[in-house]
Structures are given as structure tokens and as C-alpha cells.
């Protein structure tokens, strides 16, 4: 009975986003919320509408409100309130290019909303530390999805793969609230991908990326496991969301090493390095999608395997990401900011 909303939420999210995205595109041109070509990290060559995030947010919100069974509404409302905060600041940033400090303050408030509703990480069981970890987790994921929004289809497709992974993992653990929430995101991201896959006709903007990152962060926090020990299960959300976490770590590390601000844009993301190495946009997407899916498969295996086996897979996964980090740094050293 509890599992019933999962498929309807996915389908509803998909259909609603497909319907609303063309409307958001028209609205974006009318109100002037567009992205002009020419910024350092951009690959597009023409003016693009930036209101795809409106379609994504509305689709997810309606899915959560309309299909939530009794007992879930209060928690979904708290999550939606935090989502609305990051969506609003993202919308303002798309229109007015706000200072990064202001955006971080609002994102932090959205994370605090979760903590006040007892939606937080319980890793160390030290209240202060776990609250700080929760805030850091939310800030990281919200910005990671925004950082990945540098190529047609990359952020939306990655979000769909990550959310799909979380949907399956949560379902296998009997966590139907988490699987339903992740399913609504999966459907909405796939619906937007219809218009955002290369060559794109619509961009999600910061608003859309923030919404995707926030819901993914909440889904990762809400995952719990009855059979597996915490010493193993902490790895599951990290691998399920492995590609966004890998990319933002790579970018921030590179910018700090090169003496730049982490908030200074540039062609230093995973996608830009692969383009610089000679891959096309669709080849780059295929490779990064495959990596996201592989990490997701590892997360699923870790969530189901015996603890000793799960640890071996986890070590293998971290070793893989370490090798990829080294390869990406090598591409940066060889090709610089080429590509695109």
C-alpha cells in the first residue's frame, strides 16, 4: 500500500515537467531571465531561457503534495519549504546575479529548516557535529548540481541517475517516503531532459539546479538501513551521489591550488576536461552518465551486501575515484582550459 505512490509520482513528475517547460521557456524570454553566451564556463552559442527550474520545482512540489499518503504531509511540507527557499534564491540569482555570500546564507537557512524538523545526519551522535555535517552536506549537494550545470543535459541527467539510484535503494530498505520523494525528482529531471539534452532548447538555471541538489541531499539524509551497520551504510549516499560530489571536489581543489576563489567560474569541471581531451558533448555525457550509474550500482551493492564485502566494494570505489581525480588533474595540466 505504501509503495503505491512511487510510480505515479515518477510519471506525474515527468509529464508535468514536459508540459510546463515550454511554458517556462516562453515566460523566460518575456521577462528577460535568459543566459547570454560568453561566460567563461558556458558552451552555448545563443541566448537561452533560464526558467526551466520553475517547471522542475512545480512538478516535484505537486507530486509530493498530491500523492503523499496520510502521515507524510507534514514532513513533505517541511522539505518543500526548504526547497522553496533555495528555489527562490536561485530564481533571484538567475535574474540579478546575487553575491555568493547571500546565496550561501539562504542555503544554510534551508538546511536549518531540515534540522528543526529532525531531518539531519546522525553519524557521530554528537548533536553539534551532526548538525554541522547536515548543513555541509546540503550546501555541498546544492552547489554540486549547480556546478554540473555547465553542459546540455549534464546536471539533469546526473540528477535523474542519482535519484533513480536512491529510489531503488530506499525501496529495497522499505523506506517508501524516501523512494517516493526520489522518484518524483527522477521523473521531473527526465522530463526536463527532453528539452535539455544536447542540443538544448532550455536551461534550468540556478533555480533548477538548487532544487535538484536540495532534494537529493534530503533523500541521502533520510536513507536508513535496518540490517547494515552504520560503519558501512555511511558510504551508500556518498556513492549514490558520487559524480556530483566528485566534480565539486575536483573543481574546488583545482581552484584553490591555482589561487582562485571556489566561486570563480571557469572551464575546470570534469566535462570541460573531457571536451579538452577531444571528446564531443554526447560522448562526454555518455561517459559521465556511465560513471554516475557505476557509482550508483556500487551504492546499491553496498546497501545489500554483507558488511565485509561491502567494505571491499567501498574501498574499490574510493580507489576508482582517486584514480579518476589523478586523471582529471593530468588532463587539466595537459590541456588547460581548452575544449568547447
Work out the pLDDT band at 340, boundaries 50, 70, 90. Answer: very low
Q: What span, in angstroms and rounded, lies between the C-alpha atoms of 45 and 261?
A: 26
- Indicate whether 1 pLDDT > 80: no
- Give the H or E element holding residue 35: strand 34-35
∠57-59-62 over CA atoms, to 5°? 105
Q: What is the mean pLDDT of residues 263-286?
A: 94
Q: What span, in angstroms and rounded, lies between the C-alpha atoms of 135 and 250?
A: 20
Lowest mean pLDDT among 74-88, 218-232, 300-314: 218-232
Work out the pLDDT band at 313, boundaries 50, 70, 90. Answer: very high
Work out the pLDDT band at 43, boundaries 50, 70, 90. Answer: low
Q: What is the mean pLDDT of residues 227-250?
A: 95
pLDDT at 41: 54
Q: What span, in angstroms and rounded, lies between the C-alpha atoms of 86 and 14?
A: 21
What distance separates the 2 farthest-apart alpha carbons in the chain? 57
Question: 48 — phi, psi (to 5°)?
Answer: -125, 140
pLDDT at 16: 98
pLDDT at 69: 73
Q: What is the mean pLDDT of residues 305-332?
A: 96
Q: C-alpha 277: how far from its chain's center? A: 25
Q: What is the mean pLDDT of residues 44-68?
A: 90
pLDDT at 46: 82
Q: What span, in angstroms and rounded, lies between the C-alpha atoms of 140 and 249?
A: 9
According to DSSP, the residues that pair with 79 across neighbouring strands are none
Do 269 and 147 meet the contact criterion of CB atoms below 8 Å apart?
yes
- What's the pTM? 0.95
Q: What span, in angstroms and rounded, lies between the C-alpha atoms of 325 and 238?
A: 16
Q: What span, in angstroms and rounded, lies between the C-alpha atoms of 320 and 310?
A: 15
Q: What is the mean pLDDT of residues 182-189?
A: 97
pLDDT at 226: 81
Q: Domain limits of the chain?
A: 6-335
> How many other β-carbons are positioned within 10 Å of the β-carbon of residue 74?
10
Do 194 and 25 meet the contact criterion of CB atoms below 8 Å apart?
no
> How many other β-carbons are positioned within 10 Å of the β-carbon of residue 230?
12
pLDDT at 234: 95
Q: What span, in angstroms and rounded, lies between the C-alpha atoms of 296 and 182?
A: 14
- Indicate whether 231 pLDDT > 80: yes
Give first-to-last CA distance, the chain, whole Å: 49
Work out the pLDDT band at 2, boundaries 50, 70, 90. Answer: very low
Q: What span, in angstroms and rounded, lies between the C-alpha atoms of 157 and 207?
A: 16
Structure confidence by residue, pLDDT tens digits, 3-18? 557 899 999 999 999 9
pLDDT at 39: 55
User: Hunting for cell 529510489 — which residue is that?
Assistant: 167
* 150-182 CB burial, b ≥16 within 10 A, e <16: bbbbbbbbbbbbbbbbbbbbbbebebbbbbbbb
Work out the pLDDT band at 49, boundaries 50, 70, 90. Answer: very high
Work out the pLDDT band at 167, boundaries 50, 70, 90. Answer: very high
The three-class DSSP label of residue 248 is: helix
Cα–Cα distances (Å) from 276 to 18, 185, 253, in that order, read 33, 31, 19
Q: What span, in angstroms and rounded, lies between the C-alpha atoms of 315 and 294?
A: 14
Q: Which of 40-44, 75-79, 151-155 has the highest mean pLDDT?
A: 151-155
Structure confidence by residue, pLDDT tens digits, 108-162? 999 999 999 999 999 998 999 999 999 999 999 999 999 999 999 999 999 999 9
Amino acid at each position: 500500500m505504501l509503495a503505491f505512490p512511487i510510480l505515479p509520482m515518477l510519471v506525474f513528475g515527468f509529464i508535468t515537467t514536459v508540459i510546463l517547460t515550454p511554458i517556462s521557456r516562453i515566460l523566460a524570454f518575456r521577462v528577460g531571465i535568459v543566459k547570454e553566451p560568453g561566460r567563461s564556463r558556458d558552451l552555448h552559442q545563443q541566448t537561452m531561457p533560464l526558467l526551466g527550474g520553475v517547471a522542475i520545482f512545480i512538478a516535484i512540489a505537486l507530486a509530493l503534495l498530491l500523492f503523499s499518503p496520510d502521515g507524510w504531509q507534514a514532513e513533505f511540507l517541511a522539505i518543500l519549504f526548504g526547497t522553496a527557499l533555495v528555489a527562490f534564491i536561485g530564481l533571484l540569482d538567475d535574474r540579478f546575479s546575487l553575491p555568493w555570500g547571500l546565496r550561501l546564507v539562504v542555503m544554510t537557512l534551508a538546511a536549518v529548516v531540515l534540522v528543526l524538523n529532525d531531518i539531519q545526519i546522525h553519524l557521530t551522535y554528537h548533536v553539534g557535529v551532526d548538525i554541522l555535517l547536515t548543513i555541509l552536506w546540503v550546501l555541498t549537494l546544492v552547489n554540486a548540481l549547480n556546478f554540473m550545470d555547465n553542459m546540455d543535459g549534464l546536471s539533469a541527467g546526473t540528477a535523474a541517475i542519482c535519484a533513480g539510484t536512491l529510489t531503488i535503494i530506499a525501496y529495497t530498505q522499505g523506506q517508501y517516503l524516501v523512494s517516493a520523494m526520489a522518484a518524483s525528482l527522477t521523473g521531473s529531471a527526465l522530463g526536463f531532459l527532453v528539452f535539455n539534452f544536447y542540443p538544448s532548447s532550455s536551461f534550468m538555471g540556478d533555480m533548477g539546479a538548487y532544487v535538484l541538489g536540495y532534494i537529493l541531499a534530503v533523500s541521502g539524509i533520510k536513507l536508513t538501513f535496518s540490517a547494515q551497520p552504520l560503519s558501512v551504510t555511511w558510504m551508500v549516499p556518498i556513492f549514490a551521489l558520487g559524480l556530483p560530489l566528485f566534480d565539486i571536489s575536483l573543481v574546488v581543489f583545482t581552484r584553490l591550488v591555482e589561487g582562485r576563489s571556489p566561486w570563480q567560474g571557469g572551464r575546470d569541471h570534469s566535462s570541460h576536461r573531457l571536451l579538452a581531451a577531444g571528446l564531443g558533448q554526447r560522448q562526454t555525457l555518455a561517459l559521465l552518465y556511465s560513471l554516475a550509474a557505476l557509482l550508483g550500482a556500487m551504492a546499491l551493492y553496498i546497501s545489500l551486501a554483507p558488511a565485509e564485502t561491502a567494505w571491499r566494494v567501498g574501498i574499490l570505489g574510493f580507489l576508482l575515484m582517486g584514480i579518476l581525480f589523478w586523471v582529471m588533474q593530468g588532463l587539466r595540466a595537459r590541456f588547460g582550459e581548452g575544449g568547447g
